[in-house]
Structure 1
Amino acid sequence: MSESSDGAKDPSAGTLYPGESPRVYRALFNIFPPYLFGGVRVRHIADDWTSVRVTYTVRPWNRNNPNRAAFGGTLYSMTDPFFGIMAYGQLGRDYRVWNTVGNIEFIAPGRGTVTAIMELSREQVDAIRDATRDGGKSITDHAAEIRDMQGNLVARASQKLYARRLRR
């Protein structure tokens, strides 16, 4: 739990809804049909919602056949929801969070298994809290690299994350 500006514990911070934990989210993502059938797997969501690791194994049935490489849309989907999920997991249900802009730069063909690691630090979330404390909005930039098993850069994905505290 985090503290409010007066030092009191904020009971909604770091919690979503009953039963929703990083483990539950990971399990749900892994049975989500586009991920399940596309070869995307959420391997880890940190207990404190500060990091996520996602892999995509390129196989004959889930690749761009003319290039024998990863689909670009699948590469972007590896990163799409996770900065928002991490922010929401840390901020709690008193906030609305979503992506306003998404972008991906393709560097090299993705083959084999590719991995994206996304991180959203407590300090970044504290800055979002500060910006939204008086009813304002926060728009922050976030980026992730997608790398192959040899560590080669395959793509860079970036997002603008919008957050606003709900009025209750």
Structure 2
Amino acid sequence: MNPSLFRHGINLWPPFLFAGIHLRELSRDYRYARVELRMRPWNRNYVGTHFGGSLFAMTDPFWMLLAMHSLGRDYIVWDKAGSIEFVKPGRGTVHADFRLEESMLEELRQAAANGDKVLRWFETDVVDSGGDVVARVRKQLYVRLKPRHRSAAD
């Protein structure tokens, strides 16, 4: 899918639209994304900072989506697990950057080449406008080469 069309579509997706989550940038090769969370009255917690669920939601699908598009249709890619550590209160607009390096993709391809499932952790910091880390998010991906693409010897 065209990255520009994908970016506009996901920004209109109700869970992101109504939470104040905005995919600001998506590279043409699906190797980089920047996501922002804008402070809104409906995504603040009781003490007036970003709701933790919104901080996690802003990071939720992106490692999977980048890997899925970068690896292609020969692979099954799923989110397997995730965790978040809240480092400091988030206020204003916060952002998270996702960069999928070729070395990461090659590691996944090699590990999945014989049809084994591959579990790999990816980490992302959610950062405020001052550059301070608000939260650290870890996501684990499940990657597996689809059966029809495995060699006959396996």
Partner of 1:126: 106
Q: Over aligned residues, Cα RMSD in angstroms?
A: 1.0
How far off its partner does 1:62 sit?
2.5
Overall identity of the aligned pairs, in % = 41
How far off its partner does 1:124 sit?
0.3
Which secondary structure state, in structure 2, belongs to the residue aligned with residue 69 of structure 1? coil
Partner of 2:23: 42
Structure 1 portions without partners, runs of 5+: 1-19
Partner of 2:138: 158
C-alpha contact 2:43 2:54 (8 A) present in aligned 1: no
How far, CA to CA, are the matches of 2:63 and 2:89 in structure 1? 24
Answer yes or no: is 1:52 the counterpart of 2:29. no
How far, CA to CA, are the matches of 1:21 and 1:94 in structure 2? 19
How far, CA to CA, are the matches of 1:121 and 1:159 in structure 2? 16
Match of 1:99 among 76, 79, 92: 79
How far, CA to CA, are the matches of 1:62 and 1:137 in structure 2? 36
- Structure 1 runs of 4+ with >3 Å offset: none
How far, CA to CA, are the matches of 2:107 and 2:5 in structure 1? 27
Match of 2:67 among 87, 91, 95: 87
Partner of 2:93: 113
Structure with higher helix content: 2
How far off its partner does 1:61 sit?
2.9
Query: Aligned residue pairs: how many?
Result: 148
How far, CA to CA, are the matches of 2:142 and 2:22 in structure 1? 25
How far off its partner does 1:24 sit?
2.2
TM-score by length of 1: 0.85
Show CA shifts across 1:14-54 (max 9, x none): xxxxxx12222211110010110110000011111111100
Residue identity in the other structure for 1:92: G
How far, CA to CA, are the matches of 2:15 and 2:48 in structure 1? 19
